[in-house]
Amino acid sequence: KNFTNYVNHLKSIQYALTEVNQILILEELALSSRFMEPQSYEIAFNNVGFSYTNDKDERVFKNLSFTVPENHFTAIVGESGSGKSTIAKLISRYWDVTTGEITIGNVNIKNIEPKQLNELVGYVGQDNFLLNLTFKENIK
């Protein structure tokens, strides 16, 4: 039993270090000179292309378009590795899209003040690491 606990603890530490490393290597996102207020909560992907690298041949998405209407529940389903988590991270502007745009209420998320975007969109990954805080404090 102690060995199992030890292995689980090591896995938790490994995951935490991976997450911290991903945050440390993130490039600073460009800020808009003019912030706008979304007029609704409709989310739209308009011809979005995304790549983790600068190689356009290795795109995760190419010309991805869909709309999530305001006040509707929408499920994003697919096989492991198909990009579901990447879509969620792009909406929260964890990364910027390579091409196209993501809008909330017809406003490009690049033109929404980061603090306001963080109030509008939250992301909790499938492999989450929670601190010894309240749920609300963990998702800030």
At residue 22 the predicted structure's pLDDT band, cuts being 50, 70 and 90, is: low
pLDDT digits (tens, 9 = 90+) for 45-89: 999 999 887 766 677 889 999 999 999 988 999 998 888 989 999
Question: What does the DSSP assignment read for 69-99?
Answer: -TT-------STTSSHHHHHHHHTTSS--SE
On the question of pLDDT at 10 being above 90, the answer is no
Q: What is the pLDDT of residue 94?
A: 87
Q: Superfamily assignment of 31-139 in CATH?
A: P-loop containing nucleotide triphosphate hydrolases (3.40.50.300)
Q: Whole-number mean pLDDT of the chain? A: 82
On the question of pLDDT at 103 being above 70, the answer is yes
In this structure, which amino acid lies at residue 100?
A: G
Burial of residue 83 (CB within 10 Å: 0-12, 13-18, 19+) is middle
